[in-house]
Each structure stands twice: as structure tokens, then as C-alpha cells.
Amino acid sequence: MQYDVDAQQEEEIAPVDDESAQQEEGEEASAPLAMTEDDDEQTDTEETDGDAEEETDGDAEEETDGDAEEETDGDEEGLMETQEKEDEEANWNFVVRGIRGGRTLALRGGRARRWCADEGNRGIKCNRNWIRGWEKFLVWTGGGRIALRGGRHKRWCADDRGGVRCNRGWIRGWEKFAVWSGGGRVAFKGGRSRKWCADESNRVICSRNWIRGWEKFQIRYVGGRRSKRRRGLRHGKTVALLGGRNRRWCADEGNRIKCNRRWIRGWEKFKVWSRHGRVALRGGRGKRWCADDRGRIGVRCNRRWIRGWEKFRLWSGRGRVAFKGGRGNRWCAQEANRVICNRRWIRGWEKFRVKYVR
């Protein structure tokens, strides 16, 4: 059986432009260098504002099942949502200008050669002689850019007004930085101002049109590669979904999906189709594909095809998944007698536990 599917949009690649980067005199690298590339090569990226994945604190309760179940895992902190006009998946293993995703690193500022620390709302300050918890940053890469998660509150760093601050629970445009590398140093271009970030000792601020000494940072990897986890739902598998509201299994009832079952039988099983960062589910009752439908009915499994409304974006984290509908681009929630995609957030009712049954 062949399915009618939409073509995947091409992922945007950060264009490269050349700027003259002045090298400071008398630089000595006192920590291991991260990479070496041509000194005059720089990356410049067009900002693409998309949907941001928001970190949501849901139910902390972990359920145990008698049967061994395989669940989808996600990022420990932070919700990273791919842009609506891209099929970009957060990838912890990509390399952007020599910086590896999924690694933990420390940054040494270019002004006083001190290590930079995440001080939360007070911003990043490069005034440390040591590397401890606050001086460590976790790297995310995607779409030719990087994001950094600070070590103090485990929040994502943003090119904010007044300086870079690590206080975000999501990754959007301001949290993404373009990277230049050369001479064993890196420079970051902010996602808000599109200017180069400089170490001013009491803050890091993205306000420069050039790359000189203060705009160059030395990096040192201080943590191993993030373990590779299975994200998403596996194509061709059959799953059952446990609703986030009342912890009941969801069933295909033809004209709607209800999560009110204590068992997993035929109607509670969904076949998975997965491609280009989206998934589709085929209900167990009529063997039809489920769609983010109009009106108050919500999601119902009555389609013979896979098109836009039948494709869902997927978030995964802490052993649960959330679905974003293909029609309204809203997150789907389990309500009393339906599953409907009308939420702008991910909380408890929007999270589903996955159990592979075949």
C-alpha cells in the first residue's frame, strides 16, 4: 500500500560570509583547543523564527508496567521544537563549525582569559579561575547553529537585551547562535541582534560588528558525548498510548479517540508511520489513519491517506511524547471524551506514555 505524503521541506543551511577577523597579539592558548580552521572564515546565518520547543514540567510520576515496555526518551531539560517550516530534528551528535552537539564545554573569555560562568538572570560573566558547575555549558546543534544550556539552572542561553542570559526553557531564534572558528578560537553571533558576542568581564553581550580579541572564546570539552537516545516513534511498529489526564489507554472509536481503557486490545493499538520528522498513526478499529480534524470532535481515525492533517510533529521527554497536529499546529491533549489538538503548551494532559505492543 502506498501512502500519499507531502514532500519534506529542505533544511536551511547557514550561509557563510567572509569578514576580516583581526587576530589579537600575543595570544597564548593555556587550555586545550577545540578545533583549528581558517582564520578568515566566518559563518553567518539568516534567522529563522519557528515554533520553539518549550520545557514543560509535567507529572513526575513514573509508572511501572508488568510487561517490559519500550518508551521514547527525550532531553532531560528543555523542550526543543522544530520550526514549522523546517523538518529539522534536534540532533545531539552534529558538528557545527567544530563544536560538537551533546558535549559539555567550558568557555574562556577573550578579555581577561577567565572562564565564563552562568549566573542566571545576571548573565554570563567571564571572571572565574576554575571550572565547576556554573562554568559548564551543554551544547545543542541544529540547522547550522548551536544553543548553549547553562550549568546553574539548566536553562538555555539567549542573546538578550543587555547581554547573554541563561534563563530560557526553550530554544527559539534568540537562543540560537551562529559560530565562527579560526586560530583555535570560536566566536558567537547572536540570534537577536545578529552581532558578534564579546567578553566584557561583567557580561557577555552581542553588540559587535567585528571579531577581535574580546569576541574570541577558547573552548575546553569537560564532559563526554551525550548518550545517543532513541527519539520519536519507530516506523512500522504498533504502539499503545496511555493518556496523561487519567492514565488510561487510548482507543480508536472511529469518530474520535478516547483514553478511558484499562486494557490494551485491538482498538487500543496504533500502527506507526514515520518519515521526515513527522509521524502518522493508524487506528486499530477501522485501520484508518488518524487526523487532526476540524470542530469539537478532535483527532479521529477515518482517513485512507496520509496528507498534511494526518501528520503529527513529535516531542519526547522523560519517557513521554507529545503530538502537534498537522492542521492547527497545536499540541494535542487528552480531555474527558476526546483527544484534541488545541494547546499552545505541553503540560500533563498533553503527554502520552508509549508502549510497544508489536
Who's near 352: CB < 8 A, 6+ residues apart? 241, 242, 243, 244, 250, 320, 321, 322, 323, 334
Which cell numbers hold the place of 308?
498534511
Q: Which of 223, 250, 274 is the last residue of a domain?
A: 223
Domain-located, residue 11: no
Q: What value, to the nearest 5°, has the Cα angle with vertex 65 and ends 62 and 70?
A: 85
Domain with 197 in it: 16-50+85-223
pLDDT for residue 8 is more than 50: no
Q: What are phi and psi of 122, to 5 degrees?
A: -80, -5
**Do 217 and 188 contact (CB within 8 A), yes or no?**
yes
Q: What pLDDT sits at residue 327? A: 92
Mean pLDDT in residue range 304-327: 91
Domain-located, residue 231: no
136 and 215 fall within a common domain:
yes
Average pLDDT, the chain: 77
Q: What pLDDT sits at residue 247? A: 93
98 and 219 fall within a common domain:
yes
Write the secondary structure of 218-247 as one string of H (helix), E (strand) and C (coil): EEEEEECCCCCCCCCCCCCCEEEEECCCCC
Amino acid at residue number 342: N
Domain with residue 173: its CATH number is 2.80.10.50
Q: Which of 194, 223, 252 is the last residue of a domain?
A: 223
244 and 345 fall within a common domain:
yes
pLDDT for residue 287 is more than 70: yes
pLDDT for residue 289 is more than 60: yes
207 and 270 fall within a common domain:
no
pLDDT for residue 231 is more than 80: no
**Per-residue pLDDT tens over the stretch 126-178:** 999 999 999 999 999 888 899 999 999 999 999 999 999 999 999 999 999 99
22 and 152 fall within a common domain:
yes
What is the three-class DSSP state of 133? Answer: coil
Q: What pLDDT sits at residue 41? A: 36
257 and 217 fall within a common domain:
no
- Which has more confidence, 89 or 172? 172
Mean pLDDT in residue range 220-247: 79
Local confidence band at 95 (pLDDT 50, 70, 90 cut-offs): low
266 and 314 fall within a common domain:
yes
pTM: 0.44
Lowest mean pLDDT among 42-46, 262-266, 282-286: 42-46
Domain-located, residue 233: no
**Per-residue pLDDT tens over the stretch 323-334:** 999 998 999 999
What is the three-class DSSP state of 298? Answer: coil
Local confidence band at 96 (pLDDT 50, 70, 90 cut-offs): low
Per the structure, the count of domains in the chain is: 2
